[in-house]
Every structure is written in structure tokens, then in C-alpha cells.
């Protein structure tokens, strides 16, 4: 119990420092990238800073595994350099017991990561995207599981399907009068954006008045609106930014409407495997750090930890994209890197034990 607390405090401190450093660096580059958009609409430097601050929870969630391996290697490396790790081993603590002790600290990281990734990050990310889109385009827009919503003057627009190539399907346009009474509704089966204008096809327009309701059908109509594909892309929340519940709901919606859900299924499995990835990164430090031999500098520990964490992250990204391209089941493409690392850790610890 004393050993668990001692190791836990050491790893917790170094991991939080590593996470703070990583988030600071990535946030700085994100701010530099956002400064390119300042001056458009109402999007200025204060709005760019606010956007970056709101994306910090999502960034922390993504960088957690990398920070974990850096913090674990740094903490164990410091103990090895001061011979404390050697004393722990010679006192009868095996590597398997040491791994079990680190797992307890790993569970704390898992709980913290799940809290950030499932509760905090989805809310702040959606707020960041919506505020940025409003500042850039001066239009109120948002993306929900029921499609894209936007306001254009007295018109409210709902687009159910967003396709590549500036094409959309199932467009609903609701027009209200000055007294907020529904004046007309329009449904278009599909539309494409060419030469800075929308062309609606297969349209049913319903005009509503106190006396009667009139339905009209049109083959093709030009739609003059401030809405453009850039606005839609600005507020489209990426799959990895949704919570597990949000992903499940959206996957069900896409399947019910015969739309591709590969990216969202992949993001769903990434969410499920992330806690195991954090635990794998902590246990990997035991396999790398040795308590005997020539002491290694702190900078070398941090560099090796960062290299391992970034390599693992990149391999995860590559296998995930290859899985989508070649039709590999999401469970295999997403979970394979973590499973291989856990298998290597188990084999190494078992062999040394």
C-alpha cells in the first residue's frame, strides 16, 4: 500500500507535467493556425484564443496516452537513477507485482480520461465549433444527429445528408413571417453547389396562409442563400470528438438512413480501446526502464517516452485509416496496435518473472 502510494504520486506528478507541456505546445501551434482566419467576419484574436482554450479538453484526451508513457518512464527512470527502483526490486517486489502496482495508478488515469473524453470535451468542442462558425460566417449554425441546421434571415434550414463534392440531400427550408408565423416550407430531394449558388432538384413547396394551403412541385430551382459548403464544414463535428453515447446514436441514425457509418464506428472503437491504451503505455515503461546498469539522463528518458508515445499514436492513426480504405473491420484496425503492445508487455514480464 505504501509502495502503491509512493509510485502513484511520482507517476501522477510527472504525467500531469508532461500533459501540461504537450497541451501547451499543441495549443500554441493551434493558435498560430487560427490566426490565419482572423479578420474574417467577427473572428479576431480574442475569438481565436477562446476557440483554442475550448479545444484544450479534447486535446488533453488525445494526448493522454503519450503523456502517460512519458510520465511513467520519467518517474521510473528517476527512481532507477537514484537506485530506489533497485532497492524496491531487491526487497522482494517482482516486476509482475510492480506492474500490478502501476495498474492502480493507471486506473486513476483511465477514470480521468473517460471523464474528460465523455463529459467535458464533447461539450466544449461543440461550443468551440459553433462560436467559431458564427464569428466567421455571421450565421447561426449547428450539426446534430438530425442533420445540419442553420438560420438565414427569416429562413430555417435543415439538411439531413451531407455528401462529398459539395452535394447535400434531404433539404428542408422553413420560412417565417415577421410575426414568427410559418409562411412556407420547402423540401428538396438533393442539391449541389456550383458557381457560388445552390441548385435544388425535385422540390415540393408548401405555401401556408390563413385561407388555404398550396402545394407546388418543381424540377429545378436556384436557391439564393448565404449558406455555403464552407459553413457546413465549419460546424461538422468530427467523429472522434463525440461521446460514446453520441456515437452510438449517430451510428444508428446513419444506418437507418442507409448512410456510411465507417468513420463513426471506427471512432466508437477508438473510444473503447483508449483506456486500455493508457494502461498499456504505463506498463510499457516497466519493459523499457531497467533498474540496473548505467544511469540514463532525464532528457533521454523523456525523449524515449515521447518517441514511443508518438509512434504508438501514429501507428494507431495509420491502421485506422487503412482499415477504412481496405474495408478491414473497425475492431481489428483500431484495436490491433494496443493488443500487440499488451501482448508484448505480457510476454516480456512473464519471461522476466
Q: In what order do the strands lie in the sheet with 155-163?
A: 141-144, 147-152, 155-163, 167-176, 182-194, 197-208, 213-223
Spatial contact of 57 and 71, defined as CB atoms under 8 Å apart: no
Distance set, CA 169 to CA 173, 177, 202, 226, 256 (Å)? 12, 26, 11, 18, 15
Residue with C-alpha cell 439538411? Answer: 159
| Residue (of 291, 287, 248, 290) closest to 267 by Cα position | 248
Q: Are residues 134 and 146 located together in one domain of the fold?
A: no
Distance, in Å, from the CA atom of 44 to the CA atom of 36, rounded to the nearest integer, reads: 10
Q: What is the pLDDT of residue 293?
A: 47
232 part of a folded domain = no
pLDDT band at 20 (very low <50, low <70, confident <90, very high): very high
Number of independent structural domains in the chain: 2
Model confidence at 256: pLDDT above 90: no
Tens of pLDDT, residues 103-137: 889 999 999 999 999 999 988 988 888 788 778 76
Q: Are residues 293 and 341 located together in one domain of the fold?
A: yes
Distance, in Å, from the CA atom of 221 to the CA atom of 328, rounded to the nearest integer, reads: 42
Q: Are residues 113 and 156 located together in one domain of the fold?
A: no
Beta bridge partners of 215: 206
The set of cell numbers assigned to 270 is 477508438
Model confidence at 237: pLDDT above 70: no
More confident residue, 155 or 339: 339
Q: What is the pLDDT of residue 277?
A: 93
Give the E-state strand segments of the chain in sequence order.
141-144, 147-152, 155-163, 167-176, 182-194, 197-208, 213-223
Q: What is the pLDDT of residue 235?
A: 60
Q: Are residues 86 and 195 located together in one domain of the fold?
A: no
Q: Are residues 127 and 256 located together in one domain of the fold?
A: yes
Amino acid at each position: 500500500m505504501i509502495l502503491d502510494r509512493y509510485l502513484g504520486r511520482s507517476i501522477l506528478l510527472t504525467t500531469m507535467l508532461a500533459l501540461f507541456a504537450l497541451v501547451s505546445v499543441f495549443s500554441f501551434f493551434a493558435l498560430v493556425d487560427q490566426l490565419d482566419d482572423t479578420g474574417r467576419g467577427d473572428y479576431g484574436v480574442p475569438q481565436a484564443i477562446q476557440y483554442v482554450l475550448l479545444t484544450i479538453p479534447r486535446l488533453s484526451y488525445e494526448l493522454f496516452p503519450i503523456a502517460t508513457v512519458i510520465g511513467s518512464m520519467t518517474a521510473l527512470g528517476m527512481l532507477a537513477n537514484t537506485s530506489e527502483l533497485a532497492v524496491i526490486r531487491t526487497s522482494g517486489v517482482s516486476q509482475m507485482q510492480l506492474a500490478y502496482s502501476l495498474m492502480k495508478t493507471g486506473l486513476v488515469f483511465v477514470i480521468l480520461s473517460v471523464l474528460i473524453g465523455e463529459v467535458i470535451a464533447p461539450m466544449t468542442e461543440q461550443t468551440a465549433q459553433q462560436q467559431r462558425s458564427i464569428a466567421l460566417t455571421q450565421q447561426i449554425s449547428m450539426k446534430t444527429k438530425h442533420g445540419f441546421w442553420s438560420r438565414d434571415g427569416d429562413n430555417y434550414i435543415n439538411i439531413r445528408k451531407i455528401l462529398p463534392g459539395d452535394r447535400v440531400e434531404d433539404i428542408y427550408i422553413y420560412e417565417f413571417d415577421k410575426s414568427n408565423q410559418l409562411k412556407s416550407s420547402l423540401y428538396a430531394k438533393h442539391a449541389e453547389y456550383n458557381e457560388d449558388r445552390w441548385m435544388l432538384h425535385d422540390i415540393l413547396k408548401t405555401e401556408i396562409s390563413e385561407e388555404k394551403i398550396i402545394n407546388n412541385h418543381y424540377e429545378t430551382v436556384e436557391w439564393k442563400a448565404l449558406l455555403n459548403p464552407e459553413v457546413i464544414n465549419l460546424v461538422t463535428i468530427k467523429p472522434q470528438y463525440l461521446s460514446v453515447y453520441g456515437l452510438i446514436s449517430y451510428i444508428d441514425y446513419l444506418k437507418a438512413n442507409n448512410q456510411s457509418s465507417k468513420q463513426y464506428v471506427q471512432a466508437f472503437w477508438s473510444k473503447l480501446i483508449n483506456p486500455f491504451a493508457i494502461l498499456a503505455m504505463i506498463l510499457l515503461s516497466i519493459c523499457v526502464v531497467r533498474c540496473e546498469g548505467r544511469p540514463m539522463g532525464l532528457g533521454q528518458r523523456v525523449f524515449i517516452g515521447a518517441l514511443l508515445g508518438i509512434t504508438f499514436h501514429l501507428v494507431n492513426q495509420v491502421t485506422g485509416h487503412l482499415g477504412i480504405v481496405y474495408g478491414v473491420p473497425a475492431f481489428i484496425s483500431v484495436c490491433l496496435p494496443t493488443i500487440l503492445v499488451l501482448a508484448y508487455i505480457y510476454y516480456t514480464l512473464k519471461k522476466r518473472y
